[in-house]
Amino acid sequence: EIVLTQSPGTLSLSPGERATLSCRASQSISSTYLAWYQQKPGQAPRLLIYDASSRATGIPDRFSASGSGTDFTLTISRLEPEDFAVYYCQQYSSSRTFGQGTKVEIK
């Protein structure tokens, strides 16, 4: 099983700041089969990024992502108030597994 480790566990930032979230895989993920989701309290997750760097429909361009192999990054260029949430990465190279999440909270 591919284990995904996200860091940091919590990111405390102010609106307008840049957020950088990391997702590291226990083994190489083929064909950049990695997605990112945003989840707010009491809501279902929302797809942000698929195939490591492609934005899903309707996702603002302040969200970007990159990476390959075992190291992946999600960047939010300028945090808006609605961006404070928990973010999960997910791999679909071998079955499907999620990272444990990174909480982006207001500083």
Partner 1 sequence: EVQLVESGGGLIQPGGSLRLSCAASGFTVSTKYMSWVRQAPGKGLEWVSIIYTGGSTYYADSVKGRFTISRDNSKNTLYLQMNSLRAEDTAVYYCGLSSSWGYFDYWGQGTLVTVSS
**Which value, in Å, is the radius of gyration of the alpha carbons in the chain?**
13
Helix (H, G, I), strand (E, B) or coil at 82: helix
Q: Is 97 in the site for partner 1 (CB under 8 A)?
A: yes
9 to 38: interface string for partner 1, x by CB under 8 A:
------------------------x-x-x-
- Count of beta carbons in the 10 Å neighbourhood of residue 59: 16
Q: Is 58 in the site for partner 1 (CB under 8 A)?
A: no
Question: How far is 66 from 94, CA to CA, in rounded Å?
Answer: 19
Which residues contribute to the site for partner 1 (CB under 8 A)? 1, 33, 35, 37, 39, 44-47, 50-51, 56-57, 88, 90, 92-93, 95-101
